[in-house]
Amino acid sequence: MATQAKKKRKPWKWVLSGFLVVIVLGVAALVYWGTGIYNSLDNFSKSKEESRFGQFNNETVEPPPKWEGTERVNILLLGGDARGLEENQVPRSDSIMIASFDPVTKKAHLFSVLRDTYIDIEGHGKGRINTAITLGGPQLAMKTVGDLLGLDIQYYVYTDFEGFKALVDTIGGVYFDVEKDMHYTDNADENKYDIDLKKGYQLLDGDKALQYVRFRHDAMSDFTRTERQREFLGAVADKLKSGWNIVQMKKILDSVSPYIETNLQVTDMLKLGQLGVESHLAGTQQVPPMDNIAEEHVGGASVLGVRDLDELKATVQETLTKDDTVAPPSTSPGAENGTDTTTDNSSTTQ
**How many whole angstroms separate alpha carbon 205 and alpha carbon 174?**
7
Pair 156, 75: CB distance under 8 Å = yes
Pair 146, 74: CB distance under 8 Å = yes
Q: Cα angle vertex 188, ends 184, 194, to 5°?
A: 30
DSSP-derived 3-state class of residue 197:
strand
Q: Cα angle vertex 49, ends 43, 52, to 5°?
A: 80
What's the pLDDT at 328?
66
Pair 77, 94: CB distance under 8 Å = no
CA distances from 71 to 68, 106, 211, 277, 320 (A): 7, 11, 37, 17, 13
What's the pLDDT at 22?
57
What's the pLDDT at 242?
67
**How many whole angstroms separate alpha carbon 28 and alpha carbon 248?**
10
What's the pLDDT at 126?
95
Of 267, 281, 320, give the one whose Cα is nearest residue 26: 267
Pair 65, 306: CB distance under 8 Å = no
**How many whole angstroms separate alpha carbon 202 and alpha carbon 267?**
38
Pair 146, 62: CB distance under 8 Å = no
Q: Helix (H) and strand (E) counts for the chain?
A: 11, 16
**How many whole angstroms separate alpha carbon 68 and alpha carbon 141?**
22
Q: Partners of 157 in the beta sheet?
A: 77, 262
What's the pLDDT at 18?
38
What's the pLDDT at 201?
96
Of 326, 312, 317, 243, give the one whose Cα is nearest residue 281: 326
Residues 177-192: tens digit of each pLDDT: 999 999 988 776 677 7
Burial class for 214, CB neighbours closer than 10 Å (0-12, 13-18, 19+): buried
The list of the chain residues with pLDDT below 70 reads 1-37, 58-60, 82-88, 188-189, 218-223, 241-247, 277, 328-350
Neighbour-count burial for 272-309, b at 16+ CB within 10 Å, e otherwise: bbebbeebbbbbbbbbbeeebbeeeeeeeeebbbbeee
Neighbour-count burial for 226-256, b at 16+ CB within 10 Å, e otherwise: bebbbbbbbbbbbebeeeebeeebbebbebb
What's the pLDDT at 199?
95
Residues 144-158: tens digit of each pLDDT: 999 999 999 999 999
**pTM (two decimals):** 0.77
